[in-house]
Amino acid sequence: MDSVLILDFGAQYSRLIARRVREQNVYCEVLPHSASAETIRKKAPIGVILSGGPNSVYAEGAPLVDPALFTLGIPVLGICYGCQLIAHTLGGKVEPDGGAREYGKAETTFDRADRLFSKLPETSITWMSHGDYISKLPEGFKPAATTAVCPTAAIACEEKRFYGVQFHPEVRHTQYGRELIRAFLFDICGAKGDWTVGDIRTEAIRKIREQVGDGTALLALSGGVDSSVAAALMAEAIGDRLTCVFIDHGLMRKNEGDEVEQAFKPWPIRFVRVDAEQRFLSRLAGVTEPEQKRKIIGAEFIRAFEEEARRIGGADYLVQGTIYPDVIESGLGSSAVIKSHHNVGGLPDDIGFKGIVEPLRMLFKDEVRALGRDLGLPDAFVERQPFPGPGLAIRVIGEITREKLDTLREADAIFREELALSGVSKELSQYFAVLTSMRSVGVMGDGRTYDYTLALRAVKTDDFMTADWARIPYDVLDRVSSRIVNEVKGVNRIVYDITSKPPATIEWE
């Protein structure tokens, strides 16, 4: 099986590069930048991609690559920091600014004589994010693309198959970015493109059996896409040695706990529902800081699962439906922490299990859905919207109370119902309501009110790493707003979030 290695230099989008590679049915792995040339050689990749990163290659302590990588005869593509690193390592020179600083969209002209760009238009838009530039090329390299301010927007050494691009082809803001990555994989590395979802399934089951052995496992089941696919995968791997436990923390959407229980009744697995609402709400009382909320919920989940494991006679491993966006945003390697997901950065140091099994940890959401279909899960599970593990705790801004949760549940249910009735929901990737901590003056029945502002959020995305705010028709938003202020006590103002990711995240906390 062909494989490509991605060396991570602390970029937020390293895993997005991986996703773009996998979209072409080419297997890839992400390794830390410190991986030695010998480690890379033993993995026998057909190509190596150097990611972007927040550092300057000439700065003290900047992450570097093993120079011997460039003696292995393997094609190399450097992206942004990776491009500069190629130049820096092989004898070129990288300098700050110099008038070549670029952030955002840039019209870029390509030298189509180079194989990497031969199938691209001569000029197109790319997405830049750099303050340094390559002022001197290494021997054997030539400029392969330019912008109005950057004469080395791409570099190439055709003889050795080394290429660097100053822009980010992995983000959808770059026109023809996928085509560029495809050209590297197929025209330069010689990929066959024969890696399939069946391979994901086979490899995941192999790893589960290798880790768990003859042991037993307890799966943290939320009823969402990720945990449902993890349950099906674990059931196939270890059978009746799996127990699925649904911790009802009182932070679910309206009627959701009952719906999850009903949905899993037909499954040939052991399903246990634990009522833990009071337990979680008491621990969260008075807490307003988002990161603290997540860490409290993460720790309390572990304690609750440990207790349930003891009650059912013990379990060796805890299984979680963690996926790659969770890991990235919680901080990976030298990447920045965006927010600690309760199942990653929120876990306590001491856990009462031999280990944690995360069979989906290296997968993106679309890959998880594809795996679910391959496992035979019904669309009701596979197509279900993402719902965060901390639930409504991160959709109530500020202190959490049962009253606020009930208010949000009712408003969120109306929003979801109206989107479904209008048919708009089919076009959306995720949508929900947020109860803000802001209160404002309103007028109802000729009387003054001083109630909460409710925010509505809806996005479109294919990977949940980036997302666009959804253009919901005004008449639909009007019906939602009218119903909420008339039917939900405690809300007198509705706002709609029109911020994309980045700069915002999809969830508010």
My answer on whether 260 and 405 are in the same domain is no
In a domain, 459, yes or no: yes
Condensed to tens digits (0 to 9), the pLDDT of residues 89-104 reads 999 999 887 666 778 8
| Mean pLDDT, rounded, for 40-47 | 97
In a domain, 25, yes or no: yes
pLDDT for position 100: 65
275 shares its domain with 424: no
Domain boundary among 127, 162, 188: 188
One domain, residues 219 and 352: yes
**Could you give the CA distance from residue 259 to residue 277 in angstroms, rounded to a whole number?**
17
User: Predicted confidence band at 486 (pLDDT cuts at 50, 70, 90)?
Assistant: very high
Distance of CA 105 to the CA centre of its chain: 23
What percent of the chain stands above pLDDT 90? Answer: 63
Determine the Cα–Cα distance for residues 316 and 299; give it in Å rounded to an integer.
Answer: 18
Helices (H), 27-159: 37-43, 81-89
Task: Name the residue among 24, 7, 2 with its Cα closest to residue 190.
Answer: 2
Among 170-179, 242-251, 343-352, the minimum mean pLDDT is found in 343-352
123-153: burial string, b at 16+ Cβ within 10 Å, e else: ebbbbbbbebbbeebbeebebbbbbeebebb
* Pair (122, 47) in one structural domain: yes
Listing DSSP states for 128-153 in one string gives EEESEEEEEPPTT-EEEEE-SS-TTS
Residues 217 and 171 in one domain: no
Name the token pair of 169: 């082809």
Whether the per-residue pLDDT at 349 is higher than 80: the answer is: no
Please give the pLDDT value at position 282: 95
pLDDT over 70 (residue 330): no
3-state secondary structure of 451: strand
Q: How many CB atoms lie within 10 A of CB 226?
A: 25
pLDDT for residue 376: 86
Same domain for 476 and 449, yes or no, is: yes
Q: What is the mean pLDDT of the chain?
A: 89
Q: For residue 340, what pLDDT is reported?
A: 45
505 domain residue, yes or no? no
Task: Output 340 or 501, whichever has higher pLDDT.
Answer: 501
Residues 382-413: pLDDT tens digits?
Answer: 887 778 878 999 999 999 999 999 999 999 99
In the 8-state DSSP scheme, what is residue 427?
G
* Spatial contact of 35 and 74, defined as CB atoms under 8 Å apart: no
Could you tell me if residue 507 is inside a domain?
no
CATH number reported for the structural domain that contains residue 336 in this entry = 3.40.50.620
Instruction: Using a pLDDT cut of 70, give the percent of the chain over it.
Output: 94
How are beta strands 93-96 and 132-136 bridged, if at all? antiparallel
- Do 182 and 201 lie in one domain? The reply is no
Instruction: Write down which residue in 130, 156, 188 finishes a domain.
Output: 188
Pick the last residue of a domain from 354, 382, 410.
382
Contacts of 183 by beta carbon, 8 Å cutoff, 6+ apart:
115, 116, 117, 118, 119, 120
Look up the domain containing 324 and give its range: 197-382
**pLDDT tens profile 440-461:** 999 887 788 899 999 999 999 8
Three-point CA angle 131, 134, 136, nearest 5°: 150
- Residue 329's pLDDT band, with cuts at 50, 70 and 90, is low
The answer to whether 92 and 141 are in contact (CB under 8 A) is yes
332 band by pLDDT with thresholds 50, 70 and 90? very low
Residues 363, 411, single domain; the answer is: no
CA distances from 161 to 77, 121, 369 (A): 8, 21, 35
Q: For 27-80, where are the alpha helices, taking DSSP H only?
A: 37-43
Q: Encode pLDDT of 356-370 as tens digits.
A: 999 998 888 888 999
Inside any domain, residue 508: no
- Based on the fold, state whether residues 128 and 247 are members of the same structural domain: no
CATH of the domain at 138: 3.40.50.880
Angle among Cα 175, 108, 165 to the nearest 5 degrees reads: 80
pLDDT at 350: 61
Please tell me the total count of domains within the chain.
3
DSSP string, 316-378: SEEE----HHHHHHT--TTSPPS---TTTTT--S--SSSEEE-TTTT--HHHHHHHHHHTT--
Same domain, 206 and 183: no
Asked if residue 94 and residue 115 are part of one domain, the reply reads yes
For the chain, what percentages of helix, strand and coil (3-state, to nearest 5) are there?
A: 35, 25, 40
Question: Residue 348: what pLDDT?
Answer: 53
pTM of the predicted model over 0.75: no
471 belongs to a structural domain: yes
Asked if residue 390 belongs to a domain, the reply is: no
One domain, residues 230 and 182: no
Residues 6+ apart with CB under 8 A from 266: none
Task: Give the model's pLDDT for residue 176.
Answer: 95
Q: In this structure, is residue 87 part of a structural domain?
A: yes
> For residue 452, what pLDDT is reported?
95
| Cα separation of the two ends of the chain | 41
Report the helix count and the strand count for the chain, using DSSP H and E: 14, 20
The Cα 108–Cα 150 span in angstroms is 9
Residues tagged active-site: 80, 168, 170
If you ran DSSP here, which 8-state letter would residue 394 be given?
G
